[in-house]
Structure 1
Amino acid sequence: MNATNHGTCLLALLLSVACAPLPIVKRAPAPPPEAKGEAIAAAPKERATPIANKTINIAAACKRTEEDGFREDALMDVKANEVRALKWKLWVSRRGSCEFNLAEFRQVRATPHIELQAIDGSQCKLLVWQDPRRVTLAHNRCEKHCTPGIYEQAWPVLFDPKSGACAEVR
């Protein structure tokens, strides 16, 4: 084989590789540009399970301090989904705290979860629900009840439905 044939073969080989179809790789669509001051929420992978319509009866007291400095002191008494007593204070390390007292709320829902609305006209809500492992007391839109700058780190309190003590987080 002479040099011309070599060059022709090499050119034919390069053209056959260059013209071969490329594998199609699907790319995820680019996320929309972030709005100023707003975080983009990740799309849920699975649809959340609805809260079971369950009658909650609990006399709960949870007082503990975590290794990271997060601390909570919560008392709650619920009979047949009616909140009779609630006093909850949580601390985010030494940076600040949030405080909730039943006198500042009125109950607006009993099922499928308990909902308490702040009487000050704010959008603050306290939510209580039960699953097989715990009773959860959570807050929503309650920045006014917290030291500025800590609300995003203020987690719900979890009670053991059998004992009323703090539930295991793990």
Structure 2
Amino acid sequence: MQIRAWHLSMGLILLGSCATPPAPPPAEPVPQTLPPPSQSAPGMNAGSTATNKQLPPGKPGSLLSRVDRTRLTAQIRETPRPINIRHRCAFRDETGYNGSTQVEIANSEVRVLNTQINIPDHGSCNFDWNGFQQTKRSPSIELRHPADGCTVRIWEQGRQLTISYSQCARRCASAETFKYVWPVLIDSVNGACD
């Protein structure tokens, strides 16, 4: 009899531990205070237009309604800092892929860009600045050649400058050669390129 009562009580305890607790009451929405339009958010330049952009209002209880809009606005940057670099380097990897790059950019305006890439058993590619037109300055630089559509994109990420090429098969020994072209990476601190 005692064993049966013990089993019954253990079964009830086990069943009770599986029960779902009642749902908590809904959280009170936190009121958001925005700076007046005439003031800029902390950390922003007075001339910045980022404070003029408004986030869409969030539904009560949604994640967007709980965003600290003042802090978020302070973190938004309209434009990244301009790219400034003057560099010449050569690179070679263990497969024999090699090349050289000369680049000069002042205030995100390209003044010189010459890249020569040699791909073993496939030929070479030459990306000479002559004839390219700069079509973008921010957030990345974009150059386009009107005759063949070759596009060069340049951007900075941390201490690394990346120069990539697309639709530039005519600048190589053959269209097949361009399939082996990788972006050129330049380390702005130690000057190495890859």
Tell whether the structures are fold-level matches, with TM greater than 0.5.
Answer: yes
Match of 1:124 in 2: 150
**Which deviates more, 135-144 or 54-63?**
54-63
Q: Which has the larger radius of gyration?
A: 2
1:85 aligns with 2:123: no
Gaps of 5+ in 1: 1-51
| Aligned-residue offset at 1:156 | 1.0
Structure 2 distance, partners of 1:103, 1:67, is 31
Describe the superposition over 1:106-153 as per-residue Cα deviations: whole angstroms up to 9, x where unpaired. 111100100000131x22101100001310011011011012111111
Counterpart in the other structure of 2:167: 141
Q: Is the 8 A contact 2:159 2:189 kept in 1?
A: no
- Over aligned residue pairs, what C-alpha RMSD do you find? 1.5
The whole-number CA distance in structure 2 between the counterparts of 1:82 and 1:104 is 15
Change (3 A) 1:136 1:152: same
Identity, % of aligned positions:
30
User: Is the 2:115–2:126 contact (alpha carbons within 8 Å) kept by the matching residues of 1?
Assistant: yes
Residue 96 in 1 paired to residue 101 in 2? no
Distance 2:180 2:114 in 1: 19
Question: Could you tell me which amino acid in structure 2 is paired with residue 68 of structure 1?
Answer: T
Distance 1:80 1:164, change over 3 A: farther
**Counterpart selection for 1:68 from 86, 95, 100:** 95
Aligned amino acid, residue 128 of structure 1 = I
Bigger RCO (CA 8 Å, 6+ sep): 1
TM-score, with length taken from structure 1? 0.63
Q: What is aligned with 1:154?
A: 181
CA distance in 2, matches of 1:113, 1:84: 15
Show CA shifts across 1:53-79 (max 9, x none).
331111121202211010011000001
1:161 is matched by which residue type in structure 2?
Answer: S
Q: Give the alignment's TM-score, normalised by structure 2.
A: 0.56
The amino acid that maps onto 1:155 is: W
Equivalent residue of 2:149, what SS? coil
Q: Which residue of 2 aligns with 1:9?
A: none
Q: Distance in 2 between matches of 1:91 and 1:165?
A: 18
Q: Structure 2: 5+ residue runs without aligned partners?
A: 1-78
Q: Which runs of 4+ in 1 moved over 3 A?
A: none
2:188 is paired with a residue of what secondary structure?
coil
Q: Is the 8 A contact 1:127 1:139 kept in 2?
A: yes
Cα shift at 1:164: 3.9
